[in-house]
């Protein structure tokens, strides 16, 4: 098969760090080539070199595309050649329509006057290609993340793409949308479009990729062919060691029910006549890890946030019992006082002050613990910050590193630290391992085990079913704002959970 | 899994504290800029700038801007802006004149009522910003118009004065001298010396405390040099002021307020919460911080300080005019941004804002002495503001 792209001996140095060290990557025409590696392995840097974000001359090595050496100076150069990159963080303007976004900067226009008729028609064609049934005039803000992802791809298609680069395209998609997206990649492949797929989700990679290149610490480790691909093999190659078990062992030591929610009903925060959570009853025991499975949009985050001091929703009704006593969780402050912590799924938007350093982030929930009469004790705060940095194994130059400059996994550990220092009895963890690498995931699981062994309880929301099965003692299944299943983890399986969801979907429709 | 690395990291913790200094480099740079600007004008005005009488004037002329800058810093750190402070200070000055001159109310209750009124105005604006999420730019733009109009109405378009002599002392008085040594205010000098002694004491104590806990501070030489330089500057300026009429009352008020706000922002939980809110309001809210109330309180605080500034300004002119405080908001906001605050919120230091205000003040003063026309003064001040912010952004991108 013909080679469309060859990157030879790419070395990229930042002040103090060698981000890429003699990396080689070749992509064949019409193949789906997966690029995997831990966070910080250099995947995104490599793609930035390829797309011209880091212009020619700022790195060493050669790029051959369609047999010719390329010197891309910016993204425009690489796009002209048909190399389109779709970033992890979507780059759509929320208050513009689908059509406006697709042709942003590339509008079909005569003398600066946009021909909206042409734009809409072409948008319709593109949307049909990616299988998105939406009106071209719909505003982006009214679309879910999955559909936004498809709009990004439609936008790429509008530019005559030959090589499509997708950086973690399914990180925020549910299983259904992810599958649809992967099917789309396969379809593109049939049309001769090559793709580079960066992903943490190894099962997806295994499904669609023709070959896999593994990066570790800025170097190419190996390129595997389809028949060599196995999850264990990839994981071993990624982390550079045998990961005997992806989930640390734990001896469950489960006590009485400490947290109970009864008849919980929540309405939509804008459309208050819409019921988002419809009569949920659940409980968590001391020392227990309870999972909530479900598809994206099942209402899991909404449920958790509404319990946590009505941080979400309107017209909330129902009761919360803590250790058998009725508890007032009507404000976030009261929820925290009642020993509840909510660790958000979106650490950048809801979890951290990204412009401040680790120390200030770590103590913000429990400033009372490092102050007397409202006056902060600097020494106490230093001690606490260092202690939690050590406990959660945050990799940073010091506690004075800005959280905005940390990798996803380390940011997650800072968010965990700030809630651990508040010393809650129940931690609600919302997608605690989203977008972080295999090694950091293991560390988060270890922290969870440590917590429950200290007699705390954990309620964990996750879209990764193997993770729920590997970490939890008991799993609830949620669908469309209702609990549609409950099972001990020992009896649960991915099939059982999916079956519960599908059965409920069937009833609902 | 990575227990070894955790342990080695642990050892490093004790050394890495020095990086906390990094954030201070900007403040050092700002002080250096102020000193350079002062030396420049000292040179170009043939030594007029540092004359005791001019230095005293410099303090008196800028006190109200600095006092408002303290409140504005909190508002801007919280992620908002207050455009109404000039109008509010003018309105309160007018209110004070009407109460003391027309209605003959004693100056103490009148002053207190004025401060309460300032707080109430801040509360009224803060209410809409905090609880109804109306952009502060719009709310305070409305307030700017409303209180300018009310000031005109209150004074009937005329100047009202003079104020009772005791009230004038707020602005034009000096601390009493118990020694009565001709030509030199010994009490003022003593106050300066005591102040420097206290400063060095706290600074040494803080360092000792850090060392006791095993954290390395800045290098010893830097520590000594920093303290000596600051002490030298304070003593030098006190000496100059003492050789005129002594320390102005308003300087004492201002200094106490500056110390209070430094303490609140650096050492108190409420200050920390304001920074956290400005940095990421959603995250702060989910951390249990009552963001609405905190925003509301920053505006109340701003209102009280604007009122105090209005009183000081009125006392200084010894008359309340409908135009008092016109354009003050721009000087105040400029001072805060020159001082390194971020328009996005979450970043900014009290001392930065104070030095920023002094930079603006020294430039006003120096250019006036040089005889630079008011039109070019505006141009130059505008360019300095822009340059300061560009410098900041450039530095941030480089880092």
Q: Which two tokens stand for residue A90?
A: 């979507």
The pLDDT tens digits for A272-311 are: 888 889 899 999 999 999 999 987 678 899 999 999 998 8
Q: What pLDDT score was predicted for residue B2?
A: 36
Please report the sign of the dihedral spanned by the C-alpha atoms of residue B124, residue B125, residue B126, residue B131. positive
Q: Is the pLDDT of residue B316 over 70?
A: yes
| Interchain CB distance below 8 Å, A355 and B269 | no
Q: How confident is the model at residue A175 (pLDDT cuts 50, 70, 90)?
A: confident
- Enumerate the residues of chain B whose CB falls inside 8 A of the CB of residue A397: 16, 19
Mean pLDDT, range A459-470, rounded to an integer: 88
Q: Between A342, A371, A400, which is nearest B286 by CB?
A: A342
Can you state the percent helix, strand and coil of chain B, rounding each to 5? 75, 0, 20
Q: What pLDDT score was predicted for residue A40?
A: 64
Q: What pLDDT score was predicted for residue A245?
A: 67
Q: What pLDDT score was predicted for residue A239?
A: 67
- Enumerate the residues of chain A whose CB falls inside 8 A of the CB of residue B347: 355
Q: How confident is the model at residue B175 (pLDDT cuts 50, 70, 90)?
A: confident
The pLDDT tens digits for B133-166 are: 999 999 999 999 999 999 999 999 899 989 999 9
Phi, psi of A108 (to 5 degrees): -70, 105
If we measure between CA atoms, which residue out of B34, B60, B58, B78 comes closest to residue B309?
B60
Q: How confident is the model at residue A508 (pLDDT cuts 50, 70, 90)?
A: low
Q: What percent of chain B has pLDDT over 70?
A: 92
Q: What percent of chain A has pLDDT over 70?
A: 95
| Interchain CB distance below 8 Å, A367 and B272 | yes
Mean pLDDT, range A41-46, rounded to an integer: 84
- Enumerate the residues of chain A whose CB falls inside 8 A of the CB of residue B77: none
Instruction: Tell me if A305 sits within 8 A of A470, measured CB to CB.
Output: no
The pLDDT tens digits for B4-14 are: 333 333 333 43
Q: What percent of chain A has pLDDT over 90?
A: 39
Mean pLDDT, range B272-301, rounded to an integer: 95
Averaged pLDDT score across all residues of chain A: 87
- Enumerate the residues of chain A whose CB falls inside 8 A of the CB of residue B275: 353, 356, 360
Q: Between A353, A400, A443, which is nearest B276 by CB?
A: A353
Residue A286 CA to its chain's centroid (Å): 29
- Enumerate the residues of chain A whose CB falls inside 8 A of the CB of residue B290: 333
Q: Is the pLDDT of residue B363 over 50?
A: yes
Shortest alpha-carbon distance between residue A58 and chain B (Å): 16
Q: Is the pLDDT of residue A363 over 90?
A: yes
The strand pair at A109-110 and A113-114 is best described as: antiparallel
Shortest alpha-carbon distance between residue A434 and chain B (Å): 18
Burial of B328 (0-12, 13-18, 19+ CB in 10 A): buried
Mean pLDDT, range A328-342, rounded to an integer: 94
Q: Is the pLDDT of residue B197 over 80?
A: yes
Shortest alpha-carbon distance between residue B288 and chain A (Å): 5
Mean pLDDT, range B206-230, rounded to an integer: 83
Q: Is the pLDDT of residue A379 over 70?
A: yes
- Enumerate the residues of chain A whose CB falls inside 8 A of the CB of residue B269: 367-368, 371, 374-376
Supply the ipTM of this predicted assembly. Answer: 0.84
Q: Cite the beta strand spans of A15-135 per DSSP E.
A: 17-28, 32-36, 60-65, 68-69, 83-86, 109-110, 113-114
The pLDDT tens digits for B230-272 are: 899 889 989 988 888 888 999 999 999 999 999 999 999 999 9
Q: Which of A2-6, A139-143, A202-206, A368-372 shows the lowest mean pLDDT across its residues?
A: A202-206
The pLDDT tens digits for A88-107 are: 767 788 889 999 998 887 78
Q: Is the pLDDT of residue A201 over 90?
A: no
Mean pLDDT, range A341-366, rounded to an integer: 92
Chain B interface with A: residues with Cβ < 8 Å: 1-2, 5-6, 9-10, 12-13, 16-17, 19-20, 22, 209-210, 213, 215, 267-270, 272-273, 275-276, 279-280, 282-290, 342, 346-347
Q: Which two tokens stand for residue B43?
A: 């040179």
The pLDDT tens digits for A412-446 are: 999 999 999 999 999 999 999 887 777 788 889 99
Q: Where are the alpha helices (DSSP H) in B243-319?
A: 249-267, 269-279, 281-286, 291-317
If we measure between CA atoms, which residue out of B97, B92, B78 comes closest to residue B293?
B78
Q: Give the up-direction half-sphere exposure of residue B225: CA atoms within 13 A in the CB hemisphere.
A: 6
CB atoms within 10 A of CB B260: 13
Q: What pLDDT score was predicted for residue A340?
A: 95
The pLDDT tens digits for B68-105 are: 999 999 999 999 999 999 999 999 999 999 999 999 99
Q: Is the pLDDT of residue A1 over 90?
A: no
More confident residue, A464 or B335: B335
More confident residue, A245 or A33: A33
Q: What pLDDT score was predicted for residue B19?
A: 42
Full set of structural domains in chain A with CATH? 3-239 (3.40.50.300), 245-339+425-509 (3.40.50.300), 348-423 (no CATH)
């Amino acid at each position: 098969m013909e080679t469309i792209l060859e990157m030879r001996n790419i070395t990229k140095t930042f002040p103090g760090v060698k981000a890429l060290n003699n990396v080689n990557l070749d992509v064949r025409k019409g193949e789906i080539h997966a690029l995997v590696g831990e966070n910080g392995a250099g995947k995104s840097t490599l793609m930035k070199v390829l797309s011209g974000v880091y212009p020619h001359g700022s790195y060493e090595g050669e790029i051959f595309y369609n047999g010719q050496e390329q010197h891309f100076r910016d993204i425009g150069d690489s796009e002209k050649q048909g190399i389109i990159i779709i970033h992890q963080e979507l780059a759509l303007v929320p208050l513009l329509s689908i059509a406006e976004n697709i042709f942003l900067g590339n509008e079909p226009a005569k003398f600066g006057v946009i021909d909206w008729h042409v734009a809409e028609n072409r948008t319709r064609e593109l949307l049909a290609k990616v299988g998105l049934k939406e009106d071209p005039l719909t505003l982006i803000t009214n679309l879910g993340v999955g559909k936004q992802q498809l709009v990004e791809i439609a936008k790429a298609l509008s530019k005559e793409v030959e090589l499509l680069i997708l950086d973690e395209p399914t990180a925020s998609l549910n299983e259904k949308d992810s599958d649809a997206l992967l099917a789309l990649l396969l379809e593109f492949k049939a049309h001769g479009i090559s793709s580079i797929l960066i992903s943490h989700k190894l099962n997806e990679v295994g499904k669609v990729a023709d070959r896999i290149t593994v990066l570790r610490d800025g170097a190419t480790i190996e390129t595997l062919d389809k028949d060599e691909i196995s999850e264990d093999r990839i994981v071993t190659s990624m982390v550079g060691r045998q990961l005997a078990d992806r989930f640390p062992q734990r001896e469950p030591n489960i006590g009485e029910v400490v947290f109970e929610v009864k008849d919980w009903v929540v309405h939509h925060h804008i459309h208050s006549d819409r019921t988002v959570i419809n009569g949920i009853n659940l409980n968590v025991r001391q020392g227990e890890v309870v999972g909530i499975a479900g598809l994206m949009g099942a209402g899991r985050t909404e449920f958790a946030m509404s319990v946590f001091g009505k941080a979400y929703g309107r017209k909330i009704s129902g009761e919360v019992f803590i250790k058998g006593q009725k508890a007032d969780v009507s404000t976030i402050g009261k929820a925290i006082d009642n020993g509840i912590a909510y660790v958000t799924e979106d650490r950048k938007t809801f979890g951290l002050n990204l412009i401040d350093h680790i120390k200030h982030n770590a103590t913000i929930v429990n400033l009372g613990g490092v102050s007397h009469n409202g006056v902060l004790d600097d020494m106490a705060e230093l001690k606490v910050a260092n202690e939690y940095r050590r406990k959660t194994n945050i990799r940073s130059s010091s506690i004075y590193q800005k959280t905005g400059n940390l990798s996803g996994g380390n940011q997650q550990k800072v968010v965990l630290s700030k809630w651990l220092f508040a010393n809650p009895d129940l931690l609600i963890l919302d997608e605690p391992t989203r977008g972080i690498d295999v090694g950091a995931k293991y560390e988060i699981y270890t922290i969870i085990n440590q917590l429950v062994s200290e007699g705390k309880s954990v309620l964990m929301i996750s879209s990764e079913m193997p993770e729920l099965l590997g970490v939890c003692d008991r799993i609830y299944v949620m669908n469309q704002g209702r609990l549609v299943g409950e099972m001990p983890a020992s009896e649960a399986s991915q099939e059982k959970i999916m079956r519960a969801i599908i059965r409920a979907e069937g009833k609902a429709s | 899994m990575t227990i070894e690395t955790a342990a080695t990291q642990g050892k490093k913790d004790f050394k890495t504290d020095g990086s906390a200094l990094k954030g201070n480099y900007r403040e050092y740079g700002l002080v250096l800029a102020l000193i350079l600007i002062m030396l420049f004008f000292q040179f170009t005005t043939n030594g007029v700038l540092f004359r005791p009488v001019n230095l005293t004037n410099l303090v008196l002329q800028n006190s109200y801007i600095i006092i408002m800058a303290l409140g504005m810093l909190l508002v801007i750190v919280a992620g908002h802006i207050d455009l109404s402070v000039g109008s509010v200070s003018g309105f309160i000055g007018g209110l004070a004149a009407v109460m003391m001159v027309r209605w003959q109310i004693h100056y103490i209750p009148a002053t207190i009522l004025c401060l309460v009124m300032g707080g109430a105005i801040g509360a009224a604006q803060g209410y809409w910003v905090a609880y109804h999420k109306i952009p502060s730019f719009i709310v305070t733009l409305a307030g700017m118009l409303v209180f300018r109009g009310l000031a005109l109405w209150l004074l009937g378009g005329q100047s009202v004065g003079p104020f009772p002599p005791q009230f004038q002392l707020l602005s034009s008085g000096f601390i009493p001298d118990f020694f009565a040594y001709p030509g030199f205010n010994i009490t003022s000098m003593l106050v300066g010396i005591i102040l420097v002694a206290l400063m060095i004491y706290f600074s040494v104590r803080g360092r000792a405390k850090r060392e006791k806990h095993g954290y390395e501070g800045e290098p010893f030489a830097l520590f000594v040099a920093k303290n000596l330089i600051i002490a030298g500057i304070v003593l030098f300026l006190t000496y100059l002021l003492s050789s005129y009429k002594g320390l102005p009352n308003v300087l004492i008020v201002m200094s106490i307020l500056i110390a209070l706000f430094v303490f609140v922002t650096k050492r108190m939980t409420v200050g920390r919460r304001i920074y956290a809110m400005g940095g990421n309001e959603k995250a702060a809210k989910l951390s249990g911080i009552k963001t609405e109330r905190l925003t509301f309180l920053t505006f109340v605080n701003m209102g009280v300080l604007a009122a105090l500034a209005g009183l000081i300004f009125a006392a200084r002119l010894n008359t309340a005019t409908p135009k008092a405080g016109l354009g003050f908001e721009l000087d105040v906001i400029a001072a805060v941004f020159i001082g390194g605050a971020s328009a996005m919120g979450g970043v900014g230091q009290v001392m930065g804002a104070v030095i920023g205000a002094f930079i603006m003040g020294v430039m006003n003063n120096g250019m006036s002495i040089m005889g630079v026309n008011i039109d070019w003064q505006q141009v130059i001040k505008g360019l300095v503001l822009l340059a300061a912010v560009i410098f900041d952004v450039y530095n941030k991108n480089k880092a």
